[in-house]
Each structure stands twice: as structure tokens, then as C-alpha cells.
Amino acid sequence: MISFPNCKINIGLNIVRKRDDGYHDLETIFYPVDLKDAVEVIRSEEISFHTTGLAVSGSAEDNLCVKAYSILKKDFPGLPPVSIHLHKAIAMGAGLGGGSADGAFMLSMLDKKFQLDLAEEQLIKYALQLGSDCPFFIINKPSFATGRGEKLTPVQLDLSTYTMVLVNPGIHVSTKEAFAKLKPSTPAISLQQLIEQPLNNWKGKVINDFEEPVFKLYPAIEKIKNDLYAAGAVFASMTGTGSTVFGIFDSAVELNLTFPDNYTYILLR
């Protein structure tokens, strides 16, 4: 069985408060984007994990695809061993949620392949064990997320008539360092309300709280956002804790963008 985990962008990201358990409450809009990895699962004599495409850091045991299998194996001891092949096209540590998508899709694949008959709510609980934004990829529809990111409310948001540009400068942003420089606060207007406004009203209102500290540390990331606006973007923002920046353009706009050769530049129409 094969599936194609897609990535996401954060449209706005507000860190509301630090919780007693060490995590943070947030609010964001998760929006699925049509840039995909590929994951294949084959029944095998023993569990194995292989990768192609972009380099995947860390050990096999730490990969979320393998962790997804291990989580289900605890509750379903009869789950047979599998060979997992991951072809990586979504940059890691780039704010796109590629690893989270791989893990969540793996849960869904194992459920279908071995007829575990898990309800969506059960899959979401398993996904949360993998990471805070993994539950989104079980639903995989535009959603307003609160809590750690696991409390999801579907929203009516369709950007399919626009052109989207993703730019990644290959800079690794430390999530821990980014959080350390934040001062949590409750936004005056919820993102859930703001995204109901026309897209051309979002600039300056739909905010990613991580931009200010990350831009101070890495001015090159801020420059990408400024360049996207200079090229005519209706809205541009860093996604997650970075370092990917996305721009949303009217499809009629003729794009003339140039970035350094070591940047990854993806155009999605």
C-alpha cells in the first residue's frame, strides 16, 4: 500500500499561554498544501525502514513512520511486521509538518491495510502521541487549531484559485530557541474571525508570533517575506517556527522571483 502525505502551512500562529505541563496553548489555521512525500508499506518478515529523496535525519527508531507502527503494535500485538519505504520531498524542520504528515498517514495506512477499524477519533488520539500537529493530518482539511494544536475545528477556507509560492532558505530554526524568545499573549481578535475577512485584508492582521524573534536571528528569512510582497503577494508569512515562507498571489500575477541557488523554491498553482 502506498500513500502520499501532503504538507501544511500555518496561516497565522498565536502562542496564547504556557501550560503547567510545559507545552504551550496556541491558535492557528492549518491549511493543507499539495506538496507531498510518498510512503509505501509492505508486509514483511521483519520491521524495516528505508528512505530515498531528501536526506532524513535521525535514527530509524526515531522516525515518525516507525513510531506510528510501534504505537499501534502495543495495542494490536497481532500487527505483522512491515517494510516501510519513505521517499522524502518535503523539507524537514521547515515549518511544513512533513514528518508529522508521514506519521499520521502511516497510522491511517496501517488501519486500512490490516483492517483495524479505528474511528477517526481513535486515530487522532494515536496521532497526538506522535506530535502536536499530527492530528491535523488525520482530518487533513482547513482547520482552526487550539490547545497544543490537537483541538481542531473545520473552517471554510479555499485558496485553490490562487497561486502559492513556498520558499525555504535551508536555515534550521531551533524551535526551543524560538519559543524561548516569545512572550505568550491572547490576540485581540481570534484567527478564526480574521480569516473570514477577504484575503487582501490579512496583511498586518494575520500574524505568526514567531516571525519577530526568528527574523531578528535570521534576517534572510524576513527578506524572503519582503521579496514576496514586493513581487505582488496578496499575503505572505512564515509558516510554523520557520524557516519556510509562503506567498499567496492572484493567479493573474506574472511572477518574476529570483532566489539564491541554495534556496528551495516551489510554485503551486
Q: What one-letter code names the amino acid at 169?
A: P
| Contact yes or no for 132/148 (Cβ under 8 A) | yes
Q: What one-letter code names the amino acid at 234?
A: V
Is 141 among the catalytic positions? no
Given 8, 67, 88, 225, the catalytic residue:
8
Is 8 among the catalytic positions? yes
Nearest partner of 199 among 12, 68, 35, judged by Cα: 12
- CA separation for the pair 134, 179 (Å, rounded): 19
Given 67, 133, 209, 225, the catalytic residue:
133
- CA separation for the pair 257, 225 (Å, rounded): 12
Nearest partner of 84 among 101, 115, 109, 55, judged by Cα: 109
Task: Please write down the HEC assignment for all residues of 196-208.
Answer: CCCHHHCCCCCCE
Q: How far is residue 132 from each of residues 29, 66, 96, 124, measured CA to CA in Å?
A: 14, 17, 13, 10
Query: Pairing state of beta strands 82-88 and 38-43?
Result: antiparallel
Active site residues per annotation: 8, 133
